[in-house]
């Protein structure tokens, strides 16, 4: 497949270290609060990418960390530890907060049909791995102690800003605006590998290390966890676009300095979901969650479809109106799939060009909106219903919209005897009479009465049918 690579800034042919196998790493959530639907946009698109790679025949091993230590309120090593902040907010221990929000994250993922990665590793479980890496970085001159902390020395690198050659200064200033410089740092982009001292109240969880009791910096966890499970050569690394700098930039710096050779070739970054009023932010505490979507009556998979309708490299603006449009599209899709007859024989030869078109769409830098269009192309094609159902099933192993499952549920709902059906039929007949007599007011009144009973009417040339809303 072709995939845009944030390092080369071009769509590259996806090549793996070992043919047919993909080692894939995803930066996981910082579990001090619920994930917002912006975070989940990144995880939805990464899920589609993983599923498409499998669909394309790759054997994928995917690893994700859970950030439960070391991520300070500023990505640039300043401020309080986010976990500690969450624990204080809720009067709980850091471990309780971590467990609660990790469970909440995976529950949201399940609702959005996001597969759990093969390995999920909390950062607090791999302290020895970070200590080993930091020890070598100190030995080979890439790290230095200062003021009780261990820092990575970015001046030792030939090239630090791997993702962005043009706006180096802008990028650095942008992130650091309003942030007090840490005077222990020899260079402004140096970053903490191990903390024993913070200006702020100390982290609750601490471990012994050769440099004193303390805790790891945020970036080291992803290098440590990825190498532990996926080895020295990583094929694909994913995250939201805000992770590119400084997080991924620092991951690359320390991993390559440790390994002495290139580490990960392909970097996949999902652009942000914003609201019309701006960026969605967990740290501000006010944000949209999957539970809120559900409270407002949206199936979480409507949000998944909403994400799939846009390309992952474009910013996406959330509004209830836009989500409402996705809901209409989703319900129509489900209804059309539900209308397909079950049974019959799949015409493999006729299905082939549709499969090829789908693969071409997703294989071209994960064009998910064309993937969704491919569903429509199948539904309106001159194919028998068995073939259509087989194709929808196949595409949905990647898109994850549970179309056949939701369609089966809809059929069941429609087939179930409705309480009070006789009364409903009588009201529908009375409305038909009223319409014949051009008594529009009465016809409307009956429609409203039925609506209040949870019944929707569908008028067509053949007459009026009804369904439960
Ligand atoms: P965090 O829990 O803050 O560590 O973030 C989890 C993931 O969500 C990271 O990959 C971020 O890059 C990503 N992310 C954060 N904000 C957004 C957003 N508004 N839209 C899409 N992805 C985001
Ligand atoms: Zn990471």
Write out the chain in H/E/C secondary structure.
CEEEECCCCEEEECCCCCCCEEEEEECCCECCCCCCHHHHHHHHHHHHHHHHHHHCCCEEEEEEEEECCCCECCCCCCCCEHHHHHHHHHCCCHHHHHHHHHHHHHHHHHHCCCCCCCEEEEHHHCHHHHHHHHHHHHHCCCEEEECCEEEECHHHCCCCCCCCCCCHHHHHHHHHCCCCCCCCCCCCCCEEEEECCCCCCCCCCCECCCCCCEEECHHHHHHHHHHHHHCCCEEEEEEEHHHHHHHHHHHHHHHHHHHCCCCEEEEEEECCEEECCEECCCCCCCCCCHHHHHHCCCCHHHHHHHHHCCCCCCCEEECHHHHHHHHHHHHHHHHHHHCCCCCCCCCHHHHHHHHHHHHHHHHECCCHHHHHHHHHHHHHCCCCHHHHHHHHHHHHHHHCCCHHHHHHHHHHHHHCCCCCHHHHHHHHHHHHHHHHCCCHHHHHHHHHHHHHCCEEEEEECCEEEEEEC
Q: Is 38 in the pocket of ligand 1 (CB under 6 A)?
A: yes
Nearest residue CA, atom 7 of ligand 1?
39
Burial degree of 175 (CB within 10 A; 0-12, 13-18, 19+): middle
Structure tokens at 439: 């008594």
CA 398–ligand 2 middle distance (angstroms): 24
Structure tokens at 168: 């180096």
- Spatial contact of 54 and 115, defined as CB atoms under 8 Å apart: no
Nearest residue CA, atom 23 of ligand 1?
39
- Spatial contact of 69 and 138, defined as CB atoms under 8 Å apart: no
In angstroms, the CA 27 to CA 242 distance is 11
CA 139–ligand 2 middle distance (angstroms): 24
CB atoms within 10 A of CB 158: 4
Q: Is 280 in the pocket of ligand 1 (CB under 6 A)?
A: yes
Name the β-bridge partners of 66.
122
- Spatial contact of 151 and 190, defined as CB atoms under 8 Å apart: yes
Structure tokens at 365: 């830098």
Q: Is 28 in the pocket of ligand 1 (CB under 6 A)?
A: no
pLDDT at residue 87, as a whole number = 85
pLDDT at residue 174, as a whole number = 40
The residue with tokens 């199936």 is 299
In angstroms, the CA 207 to CA 213 distance is 5
Q: Is 270 in the pocket of ligand 1 (CB under 6 A)?
A: yes
Q: Which atom of ligand 1 is nearest to the CA of 247?
A: 12
- Spatial contact of 20 and 58, defined as CB atoms under 8 Å apart: yes
Structure tokens at 323: 């989500």
Q: Is 30 in the pocket of ligand 1 (CB under 6 A)?
A: yes
Q: Is 86 in the pocket of ligand 1 (CB under 6 A)?
A: no
CA 400–ligand 2 middle distance (angstroms): 25
CA 285–ligand 1 middle distance (angstroms): 14
Q: Is 203 in the pocket of ligand 1 (CB under 6 A)?
A: no
pLDDT tens track of the chain, all 469 residues? 999 999 999 999 999 999 999 999 999 999 999 999 999 999 999 999 999 999 999 999 999 999 988 677 665 666 677 888 888 888 988 889 999 999 999 999 999 999 999 999 999 999 999 999 999 999 999 999 999 899 999 999 988 988 875 455 444 434 444 455 788 999 989 999 998 876 555 667 889 999 999 899 889 999 999 999 999 999 999 999 999 999 999 999 999 999 999 999 999 999 999 988 877 776 666 689 999 999 999 999 999 999 999 999 999 999 999 999 999 999 999 999 999 999 999 999 999 999 999 999 999 999 999 999 999 999 999 999 999 999 999 999 999 999 999 999 999 988 888 788 889 999 999 999 999 999 999 999 999 999 999 898 888 777 888 887 7
Burial degree of 349 (CB within 10 A; 0-12, 13-18, 19+): exposed
CA 267–ligand 2 middle distance (angstroms): 12
Q: Which atom of ligand 1 is nearest to the CA of 279?
A: 19
pLDDT at residue 176, as a whole number = 41
CA 440–ligand 1 middle distance (angstroms): 53
CB atoms within 10 A of CB 37: 25
In angstroms, the CA 305 to CA 435 distance is 39
pLDDT at residue 76, as a whole number = 62
CA 222–ligand 2 middle distance (angstroms): 5
Q: Which atom of ligand 1 is nearest to the CA of 31?
A: 2
Q: Which of 40, 45, 86, 240 to mutate to test the pocket of ligand 1 (most atoms within 8 A of CB)?
A: 240
In angstroms, the CA 98 to CA 93 distance is 9
- Per the omega criterion (within 30 degrees of 0), is the bond before 103 cis? no
Q: Is 39 in the pocket of ligand 1 (CB under 6 A)?
A: yes
The residue with tokens 């609660």 is 100
Angle between helix 368-380 and 348-363 (nearest 10):
160
Structure tokens at 101: 């929000």
Structure tokens at 281: 């932010």
Q: Which atom of ligand 1 is nearest to the CA of 282?
A: 3
Backbone angles phi, psi at 311, to 5 degrees: -75, 140
Q: Is 41 in the pocket of ligand 1 (CB under 6 A)?
A: yes
CA 240–ligand 1 middle distance (angstroms): 5
């Amino acid at each position: 497949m072709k995939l845009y690579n944030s390092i080369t800034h071009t769509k590259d042919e996806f090549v793996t270290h070992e043919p047919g196998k993909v080692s894939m790493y995803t930066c996981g959530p910082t579990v001090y609060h619920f994930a917002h639907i912006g975070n989940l946009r990144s995880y939805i698109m990464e899920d589609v990418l993983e599923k498409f790679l499998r669909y394309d025949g790759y054997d994928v091993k995917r690893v994700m960390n859970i950030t439960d230590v070391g991520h300070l309120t500023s990505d640039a090593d300043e401020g309080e530890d986010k976990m500690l902040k969450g624990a204080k907010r809720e009067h709980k221990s850091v471990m309780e907060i971590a467990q609660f929000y990790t469970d909440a994250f995976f529950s949201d993922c399940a609702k959005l049909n996001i597969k759990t990665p093969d390995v999920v590793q909390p950062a607090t479980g791999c302290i020895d791995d970070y200590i080993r890496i930091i020890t070598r970085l100190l030995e080979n001159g890439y790290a230095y102690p200062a003021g009780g902390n261990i820092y990575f020395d970015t001046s030792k690198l030939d090239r630090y800003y791997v993702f962005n050659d043009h706006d180096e200064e802008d990028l650095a200033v942008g992130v650091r605006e309003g942030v007090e410089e840490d005077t222990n740092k020899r260079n402004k982009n140096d970053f903490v590998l191990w903390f024993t001292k913070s200006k702020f109240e100390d982290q609750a969880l601490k471990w012994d290390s050769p440099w004193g009791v303390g805790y790891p910096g945020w970036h080291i966890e992803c290098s440590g966890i990825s190498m532990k499970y996926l080895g020295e050569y990583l094929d694909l690394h994913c995250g939201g676009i805000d992770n590119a700098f400084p997080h991924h930039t620092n991951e690359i710096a320390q991993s390559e300095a440790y390994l002495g050779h290139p580490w990960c070739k392909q970097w996949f970054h999902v652009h942000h979901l914003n609201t019309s009023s701006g960026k969605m932010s967990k740290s501000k505490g006010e944000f949209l969650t999957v539970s809120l979507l559900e409270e407002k009556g949206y199936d979480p998979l409507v949000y998944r479809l909403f994400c799939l309708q846009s390309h992952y490299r474009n910013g996406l603006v959330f509004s209830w109106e836009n989500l409402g449009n996705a809901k209409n599209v989703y319900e129509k899709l489900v209804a059309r799939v539900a209308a397909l007859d079950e049974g019959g024989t799949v015409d493999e030869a006729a299905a082939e060009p549709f499969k090829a078109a789908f693969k071409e769409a997703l294989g071209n830098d994960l064009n998910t909106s064309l993937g969704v269009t491919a569903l429509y192309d199948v539904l309106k094609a001159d194919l028998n219903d068995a073939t259509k159902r087989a194709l929808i099933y196949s595409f949905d192993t990647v898109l994850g919209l549970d179309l056949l499952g939701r369609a089966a549920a809809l059929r069941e709902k429609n087939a179930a005897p409705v309480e009070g059906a006789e009364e409903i039929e009588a009201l529908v007949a009375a409305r038909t009479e009223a319409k014949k007599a051009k008594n529009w007011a009465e016809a409307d009144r009956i429609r409203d009465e039925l609506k209040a009973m949870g019944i929707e009417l569908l008028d067509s040339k053949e007459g009026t049918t009804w369904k439960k809303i």
